[in-house]
Structure 1
């Protein structure tokens, strides 16, 4: 049985990019059980772009209420998948297998609670941004736990909600 996966995308004035992102999410090899856009009172037509996708649920919050953690917590409570993938509005999946690949470690090992995907710099990114992406998101996968604290320090628990998936039970 395939896992059920929810996708959450917080937005603010994302009219120029949200249609493409939602289309890419809707055509993944692992189809999301539900997709939720949590919008911080956009003023640019984001709502109209999201409305082009009837399977996508929409929640509007006041801009002053946005907080990276609590907004995602609110979104989590509006979804139902066994796993919840968080993206940002400017994240572009590199392939149609993005969601499938992202949740593979969660399916393979019940002790894995969080998977953070690799972020690649955009083609026009400044060199500094390219270096930071290469440093924070190397080409080789790794699994880290409390046992790695001496080796990695705070980076042991580094994750980014630009591209991540959580086990709901965790």
Structure 2
């Protein structure tokens, strides 16, 4: 008999993506039942109503009470399921076997935690789509990479290692701590969700600042500058090959914003 599965959604103003995500959840052929839990931190655009219509076990909190790691730990603690799945409310499964594919490595004891491949939305900017393409390429994926946007893990793994409740990048920090205990974490390319954001340059810089601060990145000025230049050249070549020369000015600003954020937030 398949282990019991809890799907936990975090939501705040996720229309129209949340309805698409819920529609795909209703169509999953997962080889077993699952229960949906949701934490809404102040939606005003119809997201809350969509979750209620679906029948999610819903918890409402204020926007000020949303602390990522704390919310995740409390949501898991409210369940009794053996397998925990996270699916952001704006992450849309791309097939009816998304969940079945995601859970297979856990059920076959090939992994202790797994995460879905993410593809950019149709409206994603050229450089954002390129970053998602590279980040989830099985041949190029970075060691220790993990995303809680769409993932699954055994409850006992969480009982051994809780999500950090301070700062940001809680999923990456959790995965790192799990790996240090010998946990097996792997991507599942066959399990795909649509998910991306076209952040403003200021938002992007702030996001990377927070991540660098949380991860205690300590890259020096020369090393950070060198990495930025290498990525700018890589982006330029990609735009040329794809005949997207008009994207080059924004690509340049985008990449510099990322590295400015990381450099400002470094330890």
Pairwise TM-score range, normalised by the shorter structure: 0.7 to 0.9
Asked if 1:156 is matched to 2:117, the reply is no
SS at match of 1:14: coil
User: Shift in Å at residue 136 of structure 1?
Assistant: 1.3
User: 1:37 corresponds to which residue?
Assistant: 38
Q: Greater CA radius of gyration, 1 or 2? A: 2
> d(CA) in 1 for partners of 2:26 and 2:115?
20
Q: Which has the higher helix share?
A: 2
Gaps of 5+ in 1: 143-151
User: 1:89 corresponds to which residue?
Assistant: 89
> d(CA) in 2 for partners of 1:60 and 1:43?
12
User: Shift in Å at residue 108 of structure 1?
Assistant: 1.5
Asked if 1:114 is matched to 2:101, the reply is no
Asked whether the equivalents of residues 18 and 92 of structure 2 are also in contact (C-alpha less than 8 Å), the reply is no
> d(CA) in 2 for partners of 1:63 and 1:89?
16
Higher relative contact order (CA 8 A, sep 6+): 1
SS at match of 1:157: coil
In the superposition, the TM-score normalised over structure 2's length comes to: 0.54
Equivalences for residues 20-31 of structure 1 within 5 A: 20-30=20-30, 31=32
> d(CA) in 1 for partners of 2:96 and 2:129?
23
SS at match of 2:23: helix
Distance 1:124 1:63, change over 3 A: same
User: Shift in Å at residue 22 of structure 1?
Assistant: 1.4
User: Shift in Å at residue 139 of structure 1?
Assistant: 4.7
Root-mean-square deviation (CA, aligned residues, Å) is 2.0
Q: Which runs of 4+ in 1 moved over 3 A?
A: none
User: 2:74 corresponds to which residue?
Assistant: 74
Distance 1:44 1:124, change over 3 A: closer
User: 1:145 corresponds to which residue?
Assistant: none
User: Shift in Å at residue 32 of structure 1?
Assistant: 4.2
- Deviation per CA, 1:27-71, whole angstroms, max 9, x where unpaired? 2001542101100021223222212112x1100112111122111
Asked whether the equivalents of residues 106 and 154 of structure 2 are also in contact (C-alpha less than 8 Å), the reply is yes
User: 1:17 corresponds to which residue?
Assistant: 17
Asked if 1:132 is matched to 2:131, the reply is yes
Gaps of 5+ in 2: 158-267
